[in-house]
């Protein structure tokens, strides 16, 4: 089957590279059709489909989550959790509504924020002495940032997630979303301006370069 063969090829490539984390998405030539087929089969727990989706996107989920939780061990655990729960989560995914990678990163973001909220609920006496006040203050502001992102139009939010958090280039974002590079730049510009407005209203003082 195509999904199994693609997963085997990617796994062999990953093994040769020592399973190093990648910073960019690397897709087989027929990735669009493979991902569409894999998401359908993964809903039913198909192991080859889940393996393919993991090999394609686990590194990007890890990098996305790490940017939120700032702890590599927690990011690894959360990445594993996202993919372990993927069959059930896929029952809420509609292919026509959003690109799979944007949807998956939204699932990962929610898992990371839930993790931080759980940490925040730990009694103060149990907080490690090494936890700085700045780190905890940053955690408090994550809800404001999430609300600001949710306030963006869907296309602007997708660009911000893929461009600034997942680390994709404008060209890669354009390919994922089926838009031109100029359109991606325009959406990112409008999203930055809207985020500054939302975060300023929430009591932040973002600089001109804030996003």
Q: What is the per-residue pLDDT across 57-77, written as a single tens digit (0 to 9) for each?
A: 888 888 888 878 888 889 899
Report pTM.
0.56
Question: HSE on the CB side for 194, CA within 13 Å?
Answer: 18
pLDDT tens figures, 129-181: 444 444 444 445 556 666 777 788 888 888 887 776 666 788 878 887 888 88
83 pLDDT band, cuts 50/70/90, is very high
Residue ranges of the chain assigned to CATH 1.10.1740.10: 1-121
CA 108 to chain centre: 5
Per-position DSSP letters for 106-156, written without gaps between them: HHHHHHHHHHHHHHHTS-GGGS-TT--HHHHHHHHHHHHHHHHHHHS-HHH
The count of residues in the chain is 211
Q: Who's near 4: CB < 8 A, 6+ residues apart?
A: 48
What's the CATH architecture for 1-121? Orthogonal Bundle (1.10)
The two tokens of residue 176 are 């994922």
Residue ranges of the chain assigned to CATH 1.10.10.10: 127-211
Plot region of 131 (φ>0 → left; ψ -120 to 50 → alpha; else → beta): beta
Which of 10-14, 28-32, 195-199, 202-206 comes out lowest in average pLDDT? 202-206
The two tokens of residue 181 are 């590079």
Determine phi and psi for 124, rounding to 5 degrees: -55, -35
CA 26 to chain centre: 15
Q: Return the CATH number of 127-211, one of 3.40.50.2300, 3.40.50.261, 1.10.3720.10, 1.10.10.10.
A: 1.10.10.10
The two tokens of residue 5 are 């063969």
Determine phi and psi for 115, rounding to 5 degrees: -60, -45
Distance separating alpha carbons of residues 128 and 109, to the nearest angstrom: 24
């Amino acid at each position: 089957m195509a999904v199994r063969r693609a997963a085997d090829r990617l796994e062999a490539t990953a093994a040769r590279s020592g399973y190093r984390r990648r910073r960019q998405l690397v897709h087989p030539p027929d990735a669009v059709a493979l991902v569409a087929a894999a998401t359908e089969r993964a809903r039913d727990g198909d192991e080859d489909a889940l393996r393919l989706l993991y090999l394609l996107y686990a590194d990007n989920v890890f990098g996305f989550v790490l940017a939120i939780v700032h702890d590599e061990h927690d990011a690894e655990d959360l990445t594993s959790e996202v993919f372990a729960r993927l069959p059930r989560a896929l029952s809420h995914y509609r292919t026509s509504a959003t690109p799979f990678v944007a949807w998956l990163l939204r699932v990962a973001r929610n898992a990371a924020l839930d993790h931080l909220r759980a940490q925040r609920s730990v009694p103060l006496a149990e907080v490690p002495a090494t936890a700085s006040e700045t780190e905890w203050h940053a955690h408090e502001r994550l809800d404001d940032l999430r609300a600001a992102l949710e306030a963006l139009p869907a296309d602007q939010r997708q660009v911000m997630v893929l461009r600034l958090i997942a680390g994709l280039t404008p060209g890669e974002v354009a390919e994922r979303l089926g838009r031109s590079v100029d359109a991606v730049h325009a959406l990112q510009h409008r999203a930055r301006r809207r985020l500054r407005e939302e975060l300023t209203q929430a009591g932040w003082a973002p600089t001109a370069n804030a996003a």
